[in-house]
Structures are given as structure tokens and as C-alpha cells.
Amino acid sequence: MHTVPVALPGKSYDVVIGRGALGDQAGRIRALTKNPSAIVADEEVWKRHEKALRAVLPDLPVIEVPSGEKSKSWAEFERVSELLLAMGVERGGSVVAFGGGVVGDLAGFCAATLRRGCKLVQVPTTLLSQVDSSVGGKTAINTRAGKNLVGAFHQPSLVVIDTEFLGTLPRRELLAGYAEVVKYGALGDEAFFDWLEQHGGGVLTLDDAPLSEAIAKSCAAKAAIVADDEKEAGKRALLNLGHTFGHAIEAEGKYDGRILHGEGVAIGMAMAARFSVREGLCPPGDADRLERLLRRAGLPTRLADMGSIETTAERLVDHMKQDKKVESGALTLILLRRLGDAFVAKDQDPSRVLDFLAEETHLPAL
């Protein structure tokens, strides 16, 4: 097992990674749920993997949540919260989030607000949630104005990443998670990016050693940034490489499954790299390397690659203006000086971004 500590004053916790991690951590999970607690599970994950979690928590009540981004809603937040209260979940108990990023974000927000905060145990079952959303304490739901605009910072007490769950993950979902793995190399660790160029194939075929190594490196990178900037006052914004463009693309897809979060991030990262080149900030060869690694995995890197998403530069900029990093109406983007060296670029001129997006909307698919 790999153990990655997340060091935060008064609320440190471990991320435990490996095949069989759920059984390995059974004692710690039971200790965190000895007071009245409940499971919040993705309904599809529950159908496939109920037996695995029941082996650890045989008697805990469960709330099933419909699969898909639309469950990160006011309606589901209300429904799940009312059920947790009806089940008698206590402040000293835990909400156990069992599923991908949608369930982790929703259950985490419920835990953050239930009785003004109860404990949270994350058991992520998708690659994307394992390397990103389960670690760091961001919880949220979506609104009509945009993605993740209502939420809270609420750190889990334990994150258990059992790579065995990935064996039933659809290929498209696995690739979406891999985009977030690539992100960690691109934003701050060129050596990891180089490693992915050599070993990414093993990650995507779920070979135990490279898979666990990639997840551990991703979680360690995020843990270091979160420990330095828990509430995104500065450095943590780097974790949004590709997300400002990507969230705008997701919004245009209306969260109906036509574009997955990781697919939006892949396109968004490639766009951020191309915009960095356009602004004279990043060598063209580095943007090409990033796009090549994403495409080799089978990920989209251009808007036209998602043929069913039709949009305009103006609509994308309108979505970007709802981004949480906007200050006094000015756009903030995460851009690249080179691979492994991202930075927070504040006060970006919306007209320059609009011109760039006008070019992007006319790029053909590759």
C-alpha cells in the first residue's frame, strides 16, 4: 500500500492507495463510523460493488444517488441531507462517500453542512475522483450559473483508494481520470510528465505498479499544494490548469453526459497551452508534447473533437466570467511557462481570450 499524508494543522489525514486498500483499512473505517453514520453511494457503483463495502460496513444505512453530473444539484443536496438527518447521523459520525467525483462532492457538501459539520470518509471508485476530487476538501454542487459555485472546504478524515474498483470502469471514464493525472505533470513536475510519456500505457491498462505509482504521485502533488494553500488563496489555483476553459465547455454541454469533466479538462489544458504559446509565454514544442500525450491516450484536445458540442467564443467567455477565480470582472487563467511550470495569470484581457476562442472554435478535429 502507498500512504500519502495530507498535512493540515488540526485536520491531517491519510490517503491510502493500492489494490485491496478497502479491506486493508477496514478497522480505521469502522472506527470512524462507530457513532451513527451513513453511506452515500452512486447507484451504479452500489449495484456493482455493494458486496465489497458491505464486507467492511455490513449494517450502515445507504442513500443511493443517481449517476451523473446532474446529481450535484440543490434538489439532491436537500434530499440527501434530509435522509441523513432522518437516519440520525451525528456530528461525531461520518458520511461515507462511495462512488466517483459527483458523489464525493455532493456527500462531502452534505457532511460539511450537516449539524454544522460531521466527519467524511472518501472511498472513490473512479480514476478521476481518486487522483483529484477525493483529496483536498473541496465539496460543492452545481447551479444554473455554473459548476461548483456553491460549496464548502471540508477535509475528509480518511481517503481509501482501492484500485480494484477501476477494473469495472468504462474506458471513457478511465481516460477522463487520466487527464487529471497528466495535469499534475504539466503544472509542476516535468519529471512526472516524462514518466507518463514512458509508462502512461501501463497506467491505462491498469497494471498494478504503474497505476498505483501514478495515483500516489498525483495525490502527493495535490497534498503538497493543499497543505500550503488549503482554501485556494494563491498556489492552490494551479490545480485548475485546464479547468477554466474546461468548465466553460462542460457548461455548454449542459452536464448531460456528452462531455465528461476529464474530457473538458483535457481540451482545456491543451487550450491553455496553446493560449500560452499565442501570448509568447511557452515554447510551442511544450504545447505540442502536452497535446501529443493526451491524444496518444485517446483524449480530446480540441472543441471539434467533441462533435456534438456546438458553441461560440462569446458563450464560452460568458461561462468563464462565472469562474470562482474572477476578480473585479477580470479573468484569471492558469498558464504555462513550460511543461512543469504553470503559473496563475491574473487580469487577463477578455478581448484577447475572446479572439483566441474565436480561433479555437474554427479548429478542425484531429
Is 71 annotated in a binding site? The answer is yes
Could you read off the pLDDT of 30-59 as tens digits, one per residue?
A: 999 999 999 999 999 999 999 999 999 999
Cα–Cα distance between 64 and 38 in angstroms, integer?
11
Which residue carries 500550503 as its cell?
228
User: Which whole-number Å values give the CA distances from 89 to 96, 105, 113, 119, in the listed order?
Assistant: 11, 18, 12, 10
Could you read off the pLDDT of 324-359 as tens digits, one per residue?
A: 777 767 899 999 999 999 999 998 988 999 999 999
pLDDT of residue 139: 97
Mark whether 183 is an active-site residue: no
Q: Does domain 171-360 have CATH number 3.40.718.10?
A: no
pLDDT of residue 129: 97
Mark whether 232 is an active-site residue: yes
Q: Identify the CATH number of the domain defined by range 2-168.
A: 3.40.50.1970
pLDDT of residue 114: 98
Q: Are 37 and 60 in contact (CB under 8 A)?
A: yes
| Residue 17 clears pLDDT 90, i.e. is over it | yes
Between helix 261-278 and helix 284-297 the angle, nearest 10°, is 160
Average pLDDT over residues 289-296: 98
| Residue 284 clears pLDDT 80, i.e. is over it | yes
Mark whether 180 is an active-site residue: yes
pLDDT of residue 323: 78
Mark whether 263 is an active-site residue: no
pLDDT of residue 234: 86
* Given the residues 247, 274, 289, 302, the one annotated as active site: 247
Is 204 annotated in a binding site? The answer is no
Average pLDDT over residues 243-253: 93
The neighbour count for residue 195, using CB atoms within 10 Å, is 17
Q: Where are the domains of the chain?
A: 2-168, 171-360
Instruction: With 0.85 as the threshold, say if the pTM is over it.
Output: yes
Q: Are 86 and 80 in contact (CB under 8 A)?
A: no
pLDDT of residue 105: 98
Mark whether 116 is an active-site residue: yes
Closest CA to 179 of 128, 114, 255: 128
pLDDT of residue 238: 95
